[in-house]
Copies of this chain bind each other. A is one copy, B any other.
Amino acid sequence: MDIITKYNTQDRLLVAVDCIIFGFDGHQLKALLVKRNIDPDRGKWSLMGGFVHQDESTDEAAQRVLHHLTGLQTTYMEQLYCFSNVDRDPASRVVSIAYFALINIKDYQERIHDEHEARWFPLDQIPDLVFDHTEMLRKAKERLQQKVANQPIGFELLPGKFTLPQLQNLYEAIYETPLDKRNFTRKILSLDILNKLEEKEKESSRKGAFYYVFDRDKFSRLHQEGVKFI
């Protein structure tokens, strides 16, 4: 069978991307959802998604979709899983590649609300979602937990400078479990990937907490993979 026969007789499918966008407001881990504006299921909450074009990779499609929603270009983004049940979208056969993104919620909160009917939902208050998006979100949360334990991606969810209590809150939110303050501090600082600033954050306490910044150079001097974070 030659190439024309083989390739041309095959089924062609709609391919989509859906983005699970996580943000952290200092207390809660949240996901960004939009109101779906096409049928079927118009008006239900949904992950942000879109179809993959002929001339772009799924990574590029996911970046395009995220950029369209948030204006962000260089967010941390990672492919999650391909969802392909035949009847996952009742309107048509659509294979969807799910991506998850981590963004710093503060910087983009307002812009998002202005431009789209989008809202941040705490992970324990997610509404019913269209199709298999609930499953996608569940899987994304799982992956985030795994990932954050071994790679310094948690910092993507925080502003450039952050306090140790904020960082601990983030890890507690991701793991859904309280952590010991002294053990947490010791372990993070012992990795030697943070730089302490002179400046203090004074909004959430009278004493104030020192700001730290993540030092990518220091980190890259560790093993690229496999460093245990928490």
Q: Which residues of A contact B (CB under 8 A)?
A: 1-3, 6-7, 10-15, 38-40, 51-59, 79, 81-82, 84-86, 91-93, 95, 97
Contact = CB atoms under 8 A, between A and B. Distances in A.
Contacts of A3: 38-40, 91
Contacts of A39: 2-3
A32 to B, nearest CB: 22
Contacts of A38: 1-3, 6
Contacts of A15: 12-13, 15, 95
Contacts of A7: 14, 91-92
12 contacts: A2-B38, A3-B40, A7-B91, A11-B53, A12-B12, A13-B13, A13-B14, A15-B15, A57-B85, A57-B86, A79-B82, A95-B95
Contacts of A82: 58, 79, 82, 97
In the A-B complex, the 5 residue pairs with the smallest Cβ-Cβ separation, listed nearest first, are: A12-B12, A58-B84, A11-B54, A10-B51, A3-B39
- Chain A, interface SS category: loop
A84 B53 CA distance: 11
Given A3-B91, A6-B38, A95-B58, A51 B14 contact: no
Most B-side CB within 10 Å, residue of A2, A84, A97: A84
A2 B56 CA distance: 24
Contacts of A93: 54-55
A12 B95 CA distance: 10
B52 A13 contact: yes
Contact of A52 (B11, B55, B56, B91): B11
Contact of A13 (B1, B2, B54, B79): B54
A90 to B, nearest CB: 10
Given A15-B15, A52-B95, 18 more contacts: A1-B38, A2-B38, A7-B91, A10-B14, A11-B51, A11-B53, A11-B54, A12-B12, A12-B13, A12-B15, A13-B15, A13-B54, A15-B95, A54-B93, A57-B85, A59-B84, A79-B81, A79-B82
A55 B84 CA distance: 10
